Chain A
Amino acid sequence: MRYFLLLILPVLAIFFQSTLFNSYSIKGTIPDIVLIFVVFYSLLNNSSKGAAYGFLCGLLEDLYMGRFIGINALSKALTAYAIGRLQGNVFKENILVGVIAVLMGTVINSLLLVGISLAVSDIYNIDAGLFISIFLQCVYNSIIAVPAYIWYYNSSHNGWLRNTGENLNESRQF
């Protein structure tokens, strides 16, 4: 069930991002829910597992888009790795940690994407609008991160996302 859920979450996230969230965008900016799940997974597991999961989720998004394959895979894997480094140094039961991780993840991921796009595309226009869009996405992602983290954290300790392979000693509720 855990692996099924881990697989289906990014699939559903892409589906909702391409349909529902386009009707509820802030000035044309939509949240990146795939990234939120990747950040949470990385935060609650470790950086190398997070990087692998981030790579797979990013690859799924790339395959769906059908343009540059690898651009999201690369950026999400690196973002997840960076966020995973926090693991062990923070109190993960605090919602604020989840929100700040998502905020940091969004910034890192956005900058990586801009960097990679600049490196591989012939035309890529950078202007103030791009940074406004990144800022709006940070805000939107952080808002969604609050309920998402409560669910994700509880689920990975007591629910479907619980790691059955190794015993997690801590099973605290908010």
Chain B
Amino acid sequence: MTSSDREDISGIEKMLRNLYTPLQSGVSEFRVNLGNFTTAFNNKKTLNDKIKTLEQENRRISLDNQILRENQAELKRLRDIVAFKEASLATYDLLPARVISRSPNNWYQTLVIDKGSNAGVKKGMTVITPKGLVGSVGSVGHNSAHINLITDREVAVGAILQENRDTSGIIEGRGDRTFLGMINVPYYSTVKKNNRVITSGLSLTFPKGIFIGTVSEITRERGGLLMSASVKPAVDFDKLEEVLIITDYHPVDDSEENMGE
């Protein structure tokens, strides 16, 4: 057996993936086209209703956007004053990719995307959608890459609550696409239902501040020193069609440089 943290996959595995990728791309393309085809037959009323709701949402979001822009400008001024520098989602390079297939068994929660080492994807890169965290790149082929989802049983993410930053915990996958477990929450923390959970940046794999999900249930562990919570992921993993890969986040390299100095 091989170890889980080997650097790269072998030539045979890459060959096998090169064989599968075009087939899976074809199927995924076909399904998208089929979707477009059926939309054309949808009746006019549903489409009109949809446009109306989207317009309303658009208006609301533009308003939110204005407020946030103002806040961001203020934040930038204040940050300049205290000479505070922090990387955020706005500064990362994002590479879009299409999901072409999913895990062939129930043991792993993975996705296959249509970008690989030829497009500059590397192992360990963080994968997100505009809604929130998806997972990280597990292994890379020439034109495809396997992504380990955060719902996978072997993935853990350091997390904090966005509302009160002192509450920390570890998000772990339960093999279920609809909920995540949050463990090691200290008993004194004021975690409430519907609190927003974001990445803490402590696990070195994921950058700080990416939205993971909302707390749906809190339970006290036996012994009483720790609490655990159920978290509803922000991303709908069943309907994932496109993802974004953060290509320029290298926290480990940074710390190595610092150690060298």
Contact = CB atoms under 8 A, between A and B. Distances in A.
Given A28-B176, A129-B174, A129-B176, A66 B139 contact: yes
B156 A123 contact: yes
Q: Chain B binding site: helix, strand, loop or mixed by DSSP?
A: mixed
A130 B108 CA distance: 12
A67 B108 contact: yes
Interface in A102-125: 113, 117, 120-125
A152 B9 CA distance: 34
B4 interface: yes
Contacts, number: 105
B1 A70 contact: yes
Contacts of B154: 121-124
A133 interface: yes
Interface residues on A, range: 35 or more
A148 B20 CA distance: 24
Which of A60, A66, A68 has the most C-beta atoms of chain B within 10 angstroms of its own C-beta?
A66
Interface string A8-43: 000000110111101100001110101000000000
Interface residues on B, range: 35 or more
Interface in B7-43: 9, 12-13, 16-17, 20, 23-24, 27-28, 31
Contacts of B175: 125, 129-130, 133
Contact of B106 (A30, A60, A121, A124): A30
Given A65-B146, A70-B2, A133 B106 contact: yes
Q: Chain A binding site: helix, strand, loop or mixed by DSSP?
A: helix
Interface of B: 1-2, 4, 9, 12-13, 16-17, 20, 23-24, 27-28, 31, 101-108, 110, 112, 138-139, 146, 153-156, 172-178, 181, 238
B27 A19 contact: yes
A137 B103 CA distance: 15
A66 B12 CA distance: 10
Contacts of B238: 28
A63 interface: yes
Contacts of A69: 1-2
Given A19-B28, A70-B2, A123 B20 contact: no
Contacts of B110: 65
21 contacts: A17-B105, A18-B102, A19-B101, A20-B27, A22-B103, A28-B106, A30-B104, A34-B104, A64-B20, A65-B104, A66-B17, A67-B138, A68-B1, A68-B2, A68-B4, A74-B1, A123-B154, A124-B153, A124-B154, A125-B153, A127-B181
